[in-house]
Structures are given as C-alpha cells and as structure tokens.
Amino acid sequence: MPEAVRHVVCRLEEIPDPGARGFSLPGARFPDEYFLVHWYGAVYAYHNVCPHAGRFLNWKPDAFLTRDLSLIMCSGHGALFEPASGQCVAGPCVGHALESLPAAVEDGEVVVYAAEPEEIKKLDF
C-alpha cells in the first residue's frame, strides 16, 4: 500500500466557516478532485465523488454546501451529507458515505494526507 504524503492545501482562514473549497493533489486527473469543509472550527476532507452515481458533487467551483450551509449537497440528484461525517442522510444514497481523507490544521495551514496516485508512480522515471 502506498505511503500517505502530507499536502498543504491552503490556510484555514481562506475558507469561510461554515464553507467548502475544492482542491486537487499532484497527479490529479481533474481539477477539484477533492474538497475541504470548514465546519465550526474543524476541517474535513473528502473525495469529490458522490457514492450514488460517481459524479462530482459541486455544480460550480466550491459549491458543495446547501444554501443554508447546513449540509453537503450533491448537484447530481440532491443527495445530502453530514459535513462532519460524510454520511448521506437524504437522497438516493442514504446509508452510504463520502470517502474521507485525513485532514488537520497545522500552524494555520490545512493539510491532508493522501497516497500518491498510481498514475504518478507509473510515470516515475
């Protein structure tokens, strides 16, 4: 299993609280393959893949939360997820959850720990 690598994403104050922000990691196939949720002082990181049909959740950059900022919402078919757990609480994938990444705030920076994608390993010369 590949070793997790520390990635600095941004400073915590760059994300409203509550709020969300898409981001990519080196070797990502698409922009914003992941997203952060800043949630009442805590931060969570998820893969930007809906467990219902595998779509990106957001419909425009950083648009991951409901209008009232209370839940994560998938723009595909409206599934709703709890920000702190990633559990689907309404919609077509109740009982499933977003895939999370380890995330932390270190000296004001949001960091995530993720394995290097296999694609990077294959291109390593």
Contact set with ligand FES (CB under 6 A):
50, 52-53, 55, 74, 76-79, 91-92
Half-sphere exposure of 53 (CA within 13 A, CB side): 10
In the complex, least distance from residue 44 CB atom to ligand FES, rounded to whole angstroms? 18
The residue (of 17 and 32) whose beta carbon lies closer to ligand FES is 32
Question: Whole-number minimum distance, CB 80 to ligand FES, in Å?
Answer: 9
Pick 54 or 108: Cβ nearer ligand FES: 54
- In the bound state with ligand FES, the residue whose beta carbon lies nearer, of 12 and 63, is 63
CA 70 to each of CA 31, 65, 66: distance values in angstroms, whole numbers, following the listed order:
25, 7, 6
